[in-house]
Amino acid sequence: MRIIKRKKGNQIYFYLQHSFRKRGKVKTVEKYLGKAAELSDKKMKRKIHEMAEEILREARNNLYKQLEAIKKNFQKEWKRIPESAKKKELEEIAIIFTYNTNAIEGSTITLEETREIIQDKISANKPLKDVRETEVHSRVFLQMLDKKEKISNECILRWHKEIFGETKKDIAGKYRNYSVMVGPYLAPDWQDVRKFMNGLIGFINKTKMNPVELSGRTHYRFEKIHPFGDGNGRIGRLIMNYILWRGGYPMLIIEYKKRKSYYKALQKDEEGFLKYFFRRYLVVHKKRLR
């Protein structure tokens, strides 16, 4: 959002300009603020605030309409798939999601090897740790979608224990009891982890919010809490997609090759990350915007 100054004759006019994405294209709207001669600093600030609120409200309403269109079209697509084929469809999602989420965290397993491990039960000639985490992540993901349980400390700790029970036995299924740094970011004191997780779980289960927005805000807050000694990214992305799926929306897979923009977004504040999240979601599901 920015202020545009235009000169016409001897007069200077001010406009508030805002650009946003609509149906895959960037749209720009302007709101007239007034003539320079008529606007004092105080009046200018007040008008900018009022206009900015109006523009943001219109943009957010437009965003929600796009998200609802994605949900509606996804549900139509999903209903057309025969029940016998839905299992295979979810297994394919599990393969792609498992590969990308593990690769982001340093797994050496390729996409094709992930497919062989999950579908053909063929073990790749790779570190046993990576193979086991691939097998179990896929299973936990599919079970998570099937159970439709309420998110709680218990289920989050269970997912972590199941995925890392063989490879990280000392921390699996336990919130951390020591301090951690994520790059330059110092996560909350370990003694506050349970308190913050209780607050986050209350937010997830009680907040009336569009599921895509809830998913994005939850993911950001979970990663900032960083409740585990390791495996936070993978558990965070499981929760993120579970919220989307439970809300009737298609999931969002953060691709390994696009991890840099994802990391960069997580370094921003919550609103900055949310802008990235909405933008990525609309790009991934743009074919459903019709």
CB-based contacts of 148: which residues, under 8 Å, 6+ apart?
A: 246
Q: How high is the mean pLDDT of the chain?
A: 90
Assigned domain for 76 exists: no
- Specify the pLDDT at position 183: 87
- Whether the pLDDT of residue 115 is over 90: the answer is yes
- Specify the pLDDT at position 103: 97
Domain count, the chain: 2
The neighbour count for residue 158, using CB atoms within 10 Å, is: 17
* pLDDT digits 0-9 by tens, 35-50: 665 666 666 667 666 6
Give the CATH number, domain containing residue 132: 1.10.3290.10
- Specify the pLDDT at position 104: 97
Q: Residue type for 218, please? A: T
Whether residues 249 and 215 share a domain: the answer is yes
What order of strands is seen across the sheet that includes strand 2-8? 2-8, 11-22, 25-35
Whether residues 8 and 133 share a domain: the answer is no
Whether residues 118 and 251 share a domain: the answer is yes
Comparing CA positions, the residue from 249, 259, 242, 252 lying closest to residue 140 is: 242
- Specify the pLDDT at position 160: 98
Whether residues 146 and 245 share a domain: the answer is yes
Assigned domain for 75 exists: no
Whether residues 53 and 110 share a domain: the answer is no
Handedness of CA 169, 195, 101, 73 (dihedral sign): positive
Assigned domain for 70 exists: no
Which residue bears the tokens 């009022």?
A: 50
Assigned domain for 114 exists: yes
* pLDDT digits 0-9 by tens, 207-261: 999 999 999 999 999 999 999 999 999 999 999 999 999 999 999 999 999 999 9
Whether residues 161 and 222 share a domain: the answer is yes
Assigned domain for 248 exists: yes
Whether residues 17 and 148 share a domain: the answer is no
Across the range 14-33, mean pLDDT stands at 69
Range of the domain at 282: 82-288
Q: Residue type for 104, please? A: I
Whether residues 59 and 97 share a domain: the answer is no
Whether residues 50 and 87 share a domain: the answer is no
- Whether the pLDDT of residue 71 is over 80: the answer is yes
- The tally of CA atoms less than 13 A away on the side-chain side of residue 95 is 18
Instruction: Round to whole Å and give the CA distance between 152 and 32.
Output: 48
Assigned domain for 174 exists: yes
Whether residues 35 and 157 share a domain: the answer is no
Comparing CA positions, the residue from 26, 163, 145 lying closest to residue 90 is: 145
Whether residues 40 and 88 share a domain: the answer is no
Assigned domain for 167 exists: yes
Assigned domain for 219 exists: yes
Whether residues 58 and 89 share a domain: the answer is no
